[in-house]
Amino acid sequence: MSALGQAPGLGNMPGPDNETDWPRPARLTVGVISAGRVGSALGAALERAGHVVTAVAAISEASLDRARTRLPDTPVRPAVEVAAGAELLILAVPDTELEGLVRGLAASDVSFRSRIVLHTSGAQGIGVLAPLAARGAICLAIHPAMTFTGHEGDVDRLISACFGITAPDEVGFAIAQSLVLEIGGEPVHVPEANRTLYHAALAHGANHLVTLVNDAVAALSHALDGQGLLDQDAAAGVPQRILAPLLSAALDNALRYGDAALTGPVARGDADAVARHLRVLEQDDTRIAASYRALSLRTAQRIGASPELIEQLEELQ
């Protein structure tokens, strides 16, 4: 209990890059269910901060491989055994599995009194953990606003990530905040009622950005079609190399300057250019054309483009 009692003070300790005063006080024994992309990365990050991951649950070959790679000294155990040995229990399962896992753990013989239980779902708050809260657990929702690939760089990306935190009270938020600060992240409070909107915003930005970029790569690949390349082997990756500096600059400008960063035919009110783009895209891939049309309309609406351009784009829907 001493470790848990001191948990709110964890944030005052040195960050993950400061290796002084090791081992630090108030270290927690950590259990991770399961060793997916997020769970294994968080487990490794917490070990960097001086906590000890005592057990991890992993079933698939991919999860077992991540457990062996990221947490090589941690035994793989059934979920109930992982929970039984953890002062801090991380539930990093897919959203669709979280409620069932919580019910199963709450029905087990494990004592959850004064244990910290957190899940990593972006869309759900602490309500889903109510059965464990009823058993005496300190329940938290801590979602890293980061995309995970399962590769080594995932752990390092957590250092610069924001974490959406939902907690039942100030003590819970202090514990969550301290854990996030320890691994080098930035804690951000997300009200329970707003978790779905928070997650929708992240999914819209990150997931649809991937789709948008890959559509642009596909259209540019067709536009180049190997013409003018001195070496056909050099064709691989050319669209990506063309787009990388442009898209990186556009993203940076958008985050810095908002709608003022916008350039291109919609921003100029050039309806003829937009129409030409749509004609060639329709010939190349009607699905990409539909996406271009929808985003052009939304862009025109955001910047208050001329009614004529907005009307033209609406008629093309």
Burial code (b: 16+ CB inside 10 Å, e: under 16) for 220-254 equals: eeeeeeeeeeeeeeeeeeebeeeeeeebeeeeeee
Same domain (yes/no): 16, 156: yes
CATH at residue 41: 3.40.50.720
Same domain (yes/no): 38, 183: yes
Residue finishing a domain among 138, 170, 190: 190
Instruction: Give the pLDDT confidence of 99-111 residue by residue, as tens digits.
Output: 999 999 999 999 9
Instruction: Give the pLDDT confidence of 151-204 residue by residue, as tens digits.
Output: 778 999 999 899 999 999 999 999 999 999 999 999 999 999 999 999 999 999
Same domain (yes/no): 103, 174: yes
C-alpha pair distances (Å), 68 with each of 31, 54, 83, 254: 15, 13, 19, 40
Same domain (yes/no): 139, 287: no
Q: Which DSSP helix (H) or strand (E) runs through 257?
A: helix 238-257
Closest by CA position to 148, among listed 236, 60, 16, 45:
45
Closest by CA position to 194, among listed 174, 172, 170, 165:
165
Q: Which domain holds residue 38?
A: 2-190
DSSP 183: T
Same domain (yes/no): 158, 284: no
Closest by CA position to 123, among listed 207, 34, 36, 195:
195
Same domain (yes/no): 202, 166: no
Q: How many domains does the chain have?
A: 2
Same domain (yes/no): 183, 225: no
Same domain (yes/no): 216, 118: no
pLDDT per position in the chain (317 positions), as tens? 333 334 433 444 334 444 444 344 458 999 999 999 999 999 999 999 999 999 999 999 999 999 999 999 999 999 999 999 999 999 999 999 999 999 999 999 999 999 999 999 999 999 999 999 999 999 999 999 999 988 778 999 999 899 999 999 999 999 999 999 999 999 999 999 999 999 999 999 999 999 999 999 999 999 998 555 545 544 568 999 999 999 999 999 999 999 999 999 999 999 999 999 999 999 999 999 999 999 999 999 999 999 989 988 888 76
Same domain (yes/no): 14, 160: yes
Same domain (yes/no): 170, 248: no
Angle at 50 between CA 48 and CA 55, to 5 degrees: 85
Cα-to-chain-centroid distance, residue 53 = 22
Same domain (yes/no): 110, 147: yes
Residue finishing a domain among 173, 190, 207: 190
Residue finishing a domain among 170, 190, 210: 190
Same domain (yes/no): 297, 231: yes
Q: What is the dihedral of CA 101, 103, 104, 105, to 10 degrees?
A: 90
pLDDT of residue 21: 44
Q: Which residues are CB-neighbours of 20 under 8 A, at least 6 positions away?
A: 14
